[in-house]
Chains A and B, each alone.
Chain A
Amino acid sequence: MSTFTETKTVDQITVTENGIVLYREATRILKDGEQIAQTFHRTSLTPAQDLTGQPANVVAICNAAWTAEVIAAYQAQVAQQGV
C-alpha cells in the first residue's frame, strides 16, 4: 500500500528594496517519498507589520531587514501615497 505524506515548506523569501518581505509556502504531496502534487500560497509583509503566526525563518528575516530606518522610510512612503 502506498504511503502519502503532506509537507509544508517556505521555499521562497524575497525582500524588496523598501523592506517588504514576500514569501511562498509550498505544500507538497508525496507518494512513497516522491512528489506527485504541489500547491503554493503567497504572503507579503510590510515593515513593522505584526508577525504573529508567521513562520520562524520569515520572522528572522523580517527582524533583520526591518531596521528603524527601513520602517521609517516605508511609513513615509505610505504616507506620501496618501494611505
Chain B
Amino acid sequence: MSQVIIAGDTSGTITLQAPAVSGSSVLTLPATTATLATLTTPSFTTTIGVGAATASASGSGISFPATQSASSNANTLDDYEEGTWTPGIQNSCGFSVGAVNSAIYTKIGNTVFIQTYYTLTGTGNSTAFTVSGLPFSVPSGVYCTGAADIGTGGVLGAYVRTESTNTYATFLYSGGGTTGSTSNGRQPLLANQMGAGYVIFSLVYSTS
C-alpha cells in the first residue's frame, strides 16, 4: 500500500513526500495567520508551464507546449504562439517582395493575427495580386478579411481575403455592382493597378 508523508512546521511550510520517489514537493503557506482558502486565488510571480511545457525562464505568464496539444473543449485555451513569417507573392504578377519591414503573427487558440509591411519591386502585370506564405493554413470553407494599405496606386476600398484550405490571401475590391465577381461585382486587384511601393495589411483568420 502506497503512502504519502505530510509534514509541517511552524513557518508555514508543508512537505509532501512519496517514500518511493526521490525528492519531495513543498507547499509554503503565505503566513501563519492565513488559511488554505488562500490557495483558491493563487498568485504566481513566474511563468507556469501547462501541458508538460517547460516554463519560460523569462518574464511572467503561461507557457504552452511548443507543439499544440489540441483540446476539443470549447472553453479550453490550448495554444499560444508568436513569431514572424515570410510573405511572398503567390503568382507571377510582375512583382516580387522587396524589404520585409515587419511580418509578425500571434496565434491564440484557433485564431491567427498577422500584421505585415513590405515593399514591392518590379512592375505589375494584369494578374491578380496575392500574398502567399501565411503562417497557418485556413480551414475548408472559411474566408476571413482584413484591411489593406496599398502604398501607390491600388483601388479605393481594396481589402485582403484568405482563401479556403490555403496559405495565401487575395487582394480584392468591390466593383460596385451586384451581379457577381465576373462582371461588376467583387473584383481582384490586379498587379498593374498598383505601383511598386509597399503593402501593409492586417488580418485575423481562423485555422484548424
Seen from chain A, the residues whose Cβ lies within 8 Å of a Cβ on chain B are 11-12, 16-18, 20, 22, 24, 26, 34-44, 46, 77-78, 81-83
Seen from chain B, the residues whose Cβ lies within 8 Å of a Cβ on chain A are 54, 57-58, 66-67, 81-86, 90-91, 105, 128, 130, 132-137, 163-168, 170, 181, 188
Q: Known contacts being A12-B67, A83-B90, A83-B91, is A44 close to B164, with CB within 8 Å? A: no
Residues of chain A with a CB closer than 8 A to B166's CB:
18, 20, 46, 77-78, 81
Residues of chain B with a CB closer than 8 A to A20's CB:
137, 166-167
Distance, CA A81 to CA B188, complexed state (A) = 11
- Please state if A40 and B82 are interface contacts (CB–CB under 8 Å): yes
Distance, CA A38 to CA B188, complexed state (A) = 39
Q: Return B138 CB to nearest CB of chain A, in Å.
A: 10
CB contact between B163 and one of A36, A39, A43, A83 (< 8 Å): that residue: A83
Q: Known contacts being A82-B128, A83-B130, is A44 close to B137, with CB within 8 Å? A: yes
- Please state if B167 and A82 are interface contacts (CB–CB under 8 Å): no
Distance, CA A40 to CA B136, complexed state (A) = 13
Residues of chain A with a CB closer than 8 A to B136's CB:
22, 42, 44
Distance, CA A79 to CA B134, complexed state (A) = 19
- Please state if A83 and B181 are interface contacts (CB–CB under 8 Å): no
Residue of A nearest to B128 (CB): A83
CB contact between A83 and one of B133, B135, B137, B168 (< 8 Å): that residue: B168
Distance, CA A20 to CA B54, complexed state (A) = 30
Residues of chain A with a CB closer than 8 A to B86's CB:
41-43
- Please state if B167 and A83 are interface contacts (CB–CB under 8 Å): no
Residues of chain B with a CB closer than 8 A to A77's CB:
165-166
CB contact between A16 and one of B91, B130, B165 (< 8 Å): that residue: B165
Residue of A nearest to B208 (CB): A16
- Please state if B165 and A42 are interface contacts (CB–CB under 8 Å): no
Distance, CA A17 to CA B136, complexed state (A) = 13
